[in-house]
Amino acid sequence: MKLENMKVIITGGAMGIGLATAKRLLAENAIVTIWDINQKELDNCNLLFKDYLGRIFLHNCDVSDNGKIHEMVQVALKEMGGIDILINNAGYVAGGSLIDTDNDKWDKTIKINLNAIVYTTKEILPILLKQDRGHIVNLSSASSYLGVPDLAVYTATKWAVWGFTESMRFEIINSGKKNVGISSIHPSYLATGMFEGAKLGFFGNLIVPQVKDHDVIAKAIVNGALKKGKYAVRRPRSLRLSMILRGVLPDKLFQYMLIIMGVHKSMSNWKGR
């Protein structure tokens, strides 16, 4: 897919992966709308992107609100003159054990990480299908491949995002539209941002090293998912090993391997936002 003049919505786009992706898309001469609930970061983006007047639009949007999503889609259609790409990047992390954390945090995790993707896809996919052009990118996680303690509900949402993305791919195929794609992105722990402090053990980090910065994932989105149309993009690429090993090893041995890699203690020092 050529990105010049493509009209893009990025949810949770005012910081982290979303912001890094917006920068790359603007460098490709795309037209970008950023939705974010953090007004302070939106104001910072207004200053950061002051030289892109008419090519970037910034809006406060709570993606857990279905009605607000519908409203903002209409605004995007008017401001950009259409929609070609949706990047479902907005995310929320609540670390801690299931039984020791308030239910409202789990409800918020599900609303933002899963429900919002369903809402935005249902709103925007018909537009892409009608024009037979476009792409949807959903942010999943490395945790969609294996269970992570003290991250159980987040992990559950990211497994769901991957399954939802694959299901929607086949719905698109069944529609007969050949120029609409959908991809999932699977980042491992990032050194900064939402997962700062989270880290695998010594052996785990050798096999699946931390992602050094948000731009690594932004590059995966822009180059891997959008330009090359890859179905599932993993960073680091060694994440693929977890799928292979789960398939060939006995369950008990695979679980033991995860313990050796330090997955079971990986959230012990988490301090991300």
Which residues does the annotation mark as catalytic?
Answer: 154
- At 161, is the secondary structure helix, strand, or coil? helix
Peptide bond connecting 149 to the previous residue in cis, omega within 30 degrees of 0? no
CB 209 within 8 A of CB 189: no
**What single letter denotes the amino acid at residue 203?**
F
Helix (H) or strand (E) holding 256: helix 251-261
Residue 67 and residue 123: Cα distance in Å, rounded?
A: 10
How far is 22 from 48, CA to CA, in rounded Å? 11
What is the biggest distance separating any 2 CA atoms in the chain, rounded to whole angstroms? 56
Sequence letter at residue 99: I
Amino acid present at 11: T
What is the rounded distance in angstroms from the CA atom of residue 34 to the CA atom of residue 59? 6
C-alpha 112/C-alpha 108 separation (Å) is 6
Amino acid at 165: T
